[in-house]
């Protein structure tokens, strides 16, 4: 599945994304700096009714958001600053990945061996200033 997503359509694309992926839980977002991973993850959180979506969890590694009207939470992880899988393990990343909660992971390349096998891989590419390609690997 693939979308060409203009910045002002990001909410609609996020809704389409969830409609196509409702039975999946762990999502790995691949893409260079500025590809739009954080922006799209925020749109995905908005689309699930998360209140108070805050900035990139670059310093905390993990942000946990409550989902409005649902018991679950969403984990947003930014692993850019993680050196290796051992450091990620020590930071409790697997506890999140195997918690049963929705996990949205930036820089998943840092932890290939820790991602659950059923992880959905999403690829984001720059097209122009306000447009990105968002591609979900077949699953
Ligand atoms: N269609 C789009 N989708 C997502 N972001 C877009 C889009 N069009 C423009 N942008 C802009 O591109 C920038 C993307 O930055 P963002 O922080 O989301 O990237 P990132 O992939 O998370 O980068 P990093 O790897 O540094 O965390 C933002 O300024 C955002 O407003
Ligand atoms: Mg980011």
Ligand 2 centroid – CA 108 distance (Å): 12
**Residue range 15-38: mean pLDDT, rounded:** 96
Domain that holds residue 104: 26-116
Q: Going edge to edge, which strands form the sheet with 102-106?
A: 2-6, 131-136, 120-128, 26-30, 102-106, 73-78, 62-66
pLDDT at 24 over 90: yes
Provide mean pLDDT across the span 44-63: 79
Looking at residue 72, its pLDDT comes to 87
**Number of structural domains the chain divides into:** 1
Query: Per-residue confidence at 100, pLDDT binned at 50, 70, 90?
Result: very high
The encoded tokens of residue 86 equal: 């051992």
Q: Which atom of ligand 1 is closest in space to residue 33's alpha carbon?
A: 25
Q: With respect to residue 124, please indicate whether it lies within any of the assigned structural domains.
A: no
The whole-angstrom separation of Cα 36 and Cα 11 is 13
Q: Is the pTM of this model over 0.75?
A: yes
Please work out whether the CB of residue 40 comes within 6 Å of at least one atom of ligand 1.
yes
Q: Tell me, what CATH number does 89's domain have?
A: 3.40.50.300
* Cα dihedral 47, 51, 53, 54 in deg (nearest 10): 180
For ligand 1, is residue 7 a contact (CB within 6 Å)?
yes
Residue 21 within a domain: no
d(Cα 64, Cα 103) in Å, to the nearest integer? 9
Residue 105, in any domain of the structure? yes
């Amino acid at each position: 599945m693939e979308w060409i997503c203009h910045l002002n359509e990001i909410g609609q694309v996020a809704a389409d994304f969830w409609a196509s992926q409702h039975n999946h839980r762990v999502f790995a977002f691949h893409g260079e700096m500025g590809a739009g991973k954080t922006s799209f993850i925020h749109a995905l959180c908005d689309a699930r009714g998360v209140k108070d979506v805050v900035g990139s969890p670059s310093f905390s590694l993990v942000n946990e958001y409550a989902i409005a009207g649902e018991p679950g939470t969403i984990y947003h992880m930014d692993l850019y600053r993680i050196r290796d899988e051992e450091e990620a393990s020590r930071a409790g990343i697997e506890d999140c990945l195997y918690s049963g909660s929705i996990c949205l992971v930036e820089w998943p390349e840092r932890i290939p061996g820790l991602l659950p096998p059923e992880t959905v891989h999403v690829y984001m590419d720059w097209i122009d200033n306000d447009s990105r390609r968002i591609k979900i690997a077949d699953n």
